[in-house]
Structure 1
């Protein structure tokens, strides 16, 4: 019997003990796309499905040792990044990625710029915006929500102005998530680098309730799609559709935010 092979996504992210966000969300969403996650934990957090209470950074040498060991043996064409705890970790990971990009010009770097929990709790040991800056400079796609875009751009004005300001310091595309708006439809907008005056939009029905880990799910689904060889436009479409279905089938583990059901779409069924 022929052994099946799955493409790998290298993931740098924090561990969420509630299992809703962070590295567990990444692993589940990537696997659901038909790829395999190589998870390198950058931080241990103390949180539940609503609030984050503490962040404990993993030593940078441990992070780098794990990453170097993995890429020395396993082909990696996609890297997904979540929280990294502080700027020291971010700088070291960015340097590691820069070296990888010198050998793999087509490397996709997906950065989910998590600046805090859904309720605004800090997930960084120093200034969250400054901490993530080194990673933004190596990104090929950044996936901020509306509050994150405003903080990252440090620019007043409309969305296009904020995106343009963010792009000035990066070479990345931006997928802006509209979950924090108030319209009936959630509008996500893809700005290609240097082309913020023209963009592609998707609209999705706004679902009732709040969700823990929806951003991780989307960014990791995009990474998984790219790993299996899908083009970026298709990856953005497929990952959003997958995330929407994950939210439609979300479940509760306690009072508060719901957990996205990150099964493969073909295995997701409504209860009768």
Structure 2
């Protein structure tokens, strides 16, 4: 299981708090020009949470708010140089890993993480079924072997995590969050935050679990809207909170609350999905996102990074 150990940086979150500067969180993710997911989502979310993002771009997407058309990998050495240059200058308090582009990208990011084992890592696993079969298999295998052992919290949709962690699951009953956490712990991961667990009566559950059992969670109510970027928003919020909050269960509850309100105020800038409003708190009193407030149905689109892992069409019930 991933546990903090001594490393080259000592209490970075405390240092940032004492100096009055925001905690720095390094994010490895793809560039998404729609702003729905990827690096753009991470930067906006972390800024809204009061953290400072150190963005490292791992790949380039050609996409709109409905679908991805192309992806261009970034040379692994360029990914490494982006990260190591700023790491020599700034002190970080947390990591966030999103889509790393390729198995080679996974390898180079894992090498960087191995030099800072005391820094909490939140890893988000999107649905990568859009990749060609060989590329998909090599990416997931590299992620399992190299990223999971360093991960404090793995975030993902229930189906995505089931396919990844328990590919041979044959029971008619879907696996519980604890069963997924047990599988993740075999690779060294501390916790899983499983989203989109189907419940009766139009509800879904989002559960933080370790190999010992469920720890925390929030129920969400399904409603008609297709969100893009929910998974990146949740995982980035969690990383930002963990930069200053050591209790994982408390951080998860706060991150889910943030996501809930961001989805409630979501907006649709194009003809595709609804994007979470990461600055919902800055809206004038009485204003909410059009789609989030009214629950309009939006056009569903394939998105490799968004994965809609709070499940398309869902929000928290207060």
Contact kept, 8 Å, 1:80 with 1:223, in 2: the verdict is yes
Alpha-carbon shift at residue 167 of structure 1 (Å):
2.3
Other-structure match for 2:121: 109
Matches within 5 A, 1:93-132: 93-101=109-117, 105=118, 107-116=119-128, 121-122=130-131, 126-127=135-136, 128-132=139-143
C-alpha distance in structure 1 between counterparts of 2:198 and 2:31, whole Å: 24
* Deviations 1:42-63 (CA, angstroms, capped at 9, x unpaired): 0001111121122111111111
Residue aligning to 2:182: 164
| Alignment check: 8 A CA contact 1:207 1:248 kept | no
Query: Would you say 1:190 and 2:202 are equivalent positions?
Result: no
TM-score norm. by structure 2 comes to: 0.76
How far is the alpha carbon of 1:66 from its aligned partner?
1.4
Change (3 A) 1:124 1:230: farther
Q: CA deviation at 1:166?
A: 2.7
Give the CA deviation at 1:184: 2.0
Secondary structure, counterpart of 1:137 in structure 2: helix
Alignment of 1:228-247 (within 5 A): 228-229=244-245, 231-247=247-263
- Measured at CA, do residues 230 and 123 of structure 1 come closer, stay the same or move farther in structure 2, by a change above 3 Å? farther
* CA deviation after TM superposition for structure 1 residue 183, in Å: 5.1
Uncovered stretches (5+) of structure 2, i.e. residues with no partner: 1-18, 289-318
Q: Provide the rounded CA distance (Å) in 1 between the counterparts of 2:132 and 2:238.
A: 23
User: Deviation per CA, 1:70-92, whole angstroms, max 9, x where unpaired?
Assistant: 11121112000000111111011
After superposition, the Cα gap between the structure-2 partners of 1:268 and 1:80, relative to the gap in structure 1 and judged at 3 Å, is farther
Q: Alignment partner of 1:177: what SS?
A: strand
Partner of 1:206 in structure 2? 222
Find the counterpart in structure 2 of residue 81 from structure 1.
Answer: 97
8 Å contact from structure 2 (residues 198, 205) kept in 1: no
SS in 2 for 1:142: strand
Q: Distance in 2 between matches of 1:261 and 1:46?
A: 22
1:98, distance to aligned residue in structure 2 (A): 0.9
Q: What whole-Å deviation, never above 9, does each CA across 1:19-70 have from its counterpart, x for those lacking one?
A: 1111000001111111000000000011111211221111111111111111
State how far apart, in whole Å, the 2-side matches of 1:125 and 1:24 are.
28
* CA-atom RMSD in angstroms: 2.3
Number of residue pairs aligned between Structure 1 and Structure 2: 261
User: What's the CA shift string for 1:202-248, capped at 9, x where partnerless?
Assistant: 21233420101000000000111112335322211111111011100
Pick from 51, 63, 72: which aligns with 1:56? 72
Query: 1:55–1:123: 8 Å Cα contact kept in structure 2?
Result: no
* TM-score, with structure 1 as normaliser: 0.88
The residue aligned with 1:152 is 164
Whether contact under 8 Å (2:261, 2:280) holds in the other structure is no
3-state SS of 2:231 partner: helix
